[in-house]
Structure 1
Amino acid sequence: MKDRRYYVYILASRIGGTLYVGVTNDLIRRVHEHRTKTAEGFTKRYGVARLVYFEQFDDITAAIEREKRLKKWNRAWKIELIEERNANWDDLYPSIATT
């Protein structure tokens, strides 16, 4: 059986812009949906498509719990989390989409 991986991710509209926290089992596909605006809702409405942060989990329950916790965090904490690993808010999608 194939190992399942789950991802909690943060998208931004731009550096310091609007943030979105999500969870998925296919990070490349899901971010592509956000980028091409085929994912209806918040990210399409607000132009949020820059992948600035993600974490990987082996357990869906842990991933969902982490997503719920991050969604409750205040904005400053989310920005600090992003900038710990991605100080320039680089779009991480090109680096994962090629692997």
Structure 2
Amino acid sequence: MPFFTYVLQSKTTGRLYIGHTQDLQRRLHEHNTGQTKSTRNRGPWQLIFARSFNTRAEAVRFERQLKRLKNPQRILEFLRER
């Protein structure tokens, strides 16, 4: 079963959230229903990017690469290039 690195954007604030999961639909539902502490009260969230990987290690590596960019504009530019 593949792993995904994903980027969500808040429809109300524009804030980005970067994470990884094996079940993308379940995870998006968790974010939008307040089950995830770090995204609670900041939604609704929309999926703006997802990439699949064969292993969790690869997904985590790409997640860390995105998080190192820090600036949301740089993250969005990087994703547009992909």
Report the TM-score when normalising by structure 1: 0.70
Match of residue 67 from structure 1: 63
Cα offset, 1:46, TM superposition: 2.0
2:54 alignment partner AA: D
| 3-state DSSP of counterpart to 1:45 | coil
Query: What does residue 6 of structure 1 align with?
Result: 3
Distance in 2 separating the partners of 1:75 and 1:11: 11
Query: Could you list the runs of 5+ residues in structure 2 that have no partner in the other structure?
Result: none
Residue of structure 2 equivalent to 1:93: none
- What fraction of aligned residue pairs are identical, expressed as a percent? 35
* 1:42-93 Cα distance to aligned partner (Å, 9 max, x none): 21132251111111101111100111111111222212244457xxxxxxxx
**RMSD value over aligned CA atoms?**
2.1
* Structure whose CA Rg is larger: 1
Q: TM-score, normalised by structure 2?
A: 0.83
